[in-house]
Amino acid sequence: MLTRLLSNDFPRNRVLAVLLVALLLALAFTPFLFPGVKALNVAAKVLVFLVLVASFDLLLGYTGIVSFAHTMFYGIGAYGIAIASTRMGAGWGALALGLAAALALSFVLALVVGLFSLRVKAIFFTMITLAVAAAFQTLASQLSDFTGGEDGLSFKVPELLSPSFELSDTPFLGVNLDGRLLCYYLLFFVALGLLLALLRIVNSPFGRVLQAIRENEFRAEAIGYRVVVYRTTSSVLSALFACAAGAMLAIWLRYNGPDTSLSFEIMIDVLLIVVIGGMGTMYGAAIGSAIFVIAQSYLQDLLRLGSEATASLPWLSALLSPDRWLLWLGLLFVLSVYYFPTGVVGKLRAMGQARGRHTGS
């Protein structure tokens, strides 16, 4: 059963396996282990980024395509939910219609961009996707009657997922059984299902062809594979998963705007997470998302404690000021790239293989 779920793609390293199980359990029981609104928001963001980063890794890590339009599909998913819920009101029908429309639009745009752009050289394709993403963000900001413009759209979700909904008046293990909790577990199971689906895709014959194209496009073409078709299919699948991640974000926040889902900073974050976790490993998306989001969310708090503890040393206290959290986050990223050039997952798997060869000899 576990073999089928993981598509025969096991961690292949005990430390990595422990980390993945610990992450799974931490996310599954976050409401009970880490009570508080902030912890729940951080866990929900990890789940959303897990899907978004894994979908981008399908492009970059497994197919070798560098695209800066990925957050466009993320934004389309979020806007699909927001616009449908704003127009139709809170209801499951609005969520279903918004998601269906967003997936359809993402499919068409990804297909068009793929067919017209993947035939050109990699650098030109990257620039085209950057231009398309910038144009879409500008369009979303200007169509205020439709998208809410710079202010975005606030909307209501079905009552079952609303924070005001109470499943029980009696807390369970100190946690209120309300709509916020149900919404979190909806995101948890959707994220888990989408990650398992991506694992199935990359470990299928289709996924192996994508990896062959990444390694040597001309050789794959020479042995009979239509590279453009496979790369376009990969782009479309990646866009659909990114669209689903955007829908998850909108449902959780009950709001969407240009800076929330279409900002270029999100694309930079995704690239950083892929590098930290390890390209070409779906597990890297999970590990990288957790490390990055937790560091981004709690680094300021840690620096504040450090600054207060070193108050007797003014220079050190100033260096540990919470206002310099971006400096320390950048330093952590540089160190992670230096010590883990193939990402956390790549490094751990390489260590596991080296230990296996040493044991075998």
pLDDT value at position 198?
94
Q: How far is CA 338 from CA 154, 219, 276, 343, 348, in A?
A: 42, 32, 10, 10, 15
For the chain, how are helix, strand and coil distributed in percent, rounded to 5? 80, 0, 20
CA dist list (Å): 125 to 6, 122, 214, 228, 244:
33, 5, 15, 13, 24
Report the run of H or E that residue 120 belongs to, with start and end: none
pLDDT at residue 50 in the model: 95
Q: Is the pLDDT of residue 163 over 60?
A: yes
Reduce the DSSP state of residue 195 to 3 states and report it.
Answer: helix
Give SS3 for 153.
Answer: strand
pLDDT one-digit tens code per residue, 82-111: 999 999 888 899 999 999 999 999 999 999
Percent of the chain with pLDDT over 70: 95
Helix (H) or strand (E) holding 194: helix 179-202
What does the domain layout of the chain look like in residue ranges? 2-360
Q: Residue 360 above 60 pLDDT? A: no
Measured distance CA(16)–CA(296) in Å, rounded: 22
In the prediction, which pLDDT does 359 show? 59
What is the pLDDT, as a whole number, of residue 143?
A: 83
Structure tokens belonging to residue 113: 């961009």
Q: What is the pLDDT of residues 109-148, one digit of tens each?
A: 999 887 776 666 667 778 888 888 888 888 888 888 888 8
The predicted pLDDT at position 150 comes to 87
Q: What is the mean pLDDT of the chain?
A: 86
Position 356 scores a pLDDT of 61
Q: Which long-range contacts (CB under 8 A, 24 or more apart) does 327-331 make?
A: 328/299, 328/303, 329/295, 329/296, 329/299
Instruction: Examine the pLDDT at 361 and tell me if it is beyond 60.
Output: no
For 123, the token pair is 């650098």
Report percent pLDDT > 90 for the chain. 37
Mean pLDDT value across residues 67-94: 91
Strand 255-256 relative to strand 153-154: parallel, antiparallel, unpaired? antiparallel
pLDDT single digits (tens) 314-354: 877 888 887 777 788 788 888 877 877 788 888 888 876 66
66/57 Cα distance (integer angstroms): 10
Class of CATH domain 2-360: mainly alpha
pLDDT digits (tens, 9 = 90+) for 252-304: 999 998 888 988 889 989 988 998 888 888 899 999 999 999 988 888 888 88
How far is the C-alpha of 150 from the C-alpha of 355, rounded, in Å? Answer: 54
- Looking at residues 222-230, what average pLDDT do you find? 85
CA 48/CA 38 separation, integer angstroms: 15
Mean pLDDT of 220-239: 88
pLDDT at 1: 64
Determine the pLDDT at residue 236: 93
Given a contact cutoff of 8 angstroms between Cβ atoms, the answer to whether 277 and 343 are in contact is yes
The per-residue pLDDT for 115 is 77
What does the pLDDT average to over 158-178? 79
In this prediction, residue 75 carries a pLDDT of 94
The pLDDT assigned to 8 comes to 74
204 vs 339, residue with greater confidence: 204
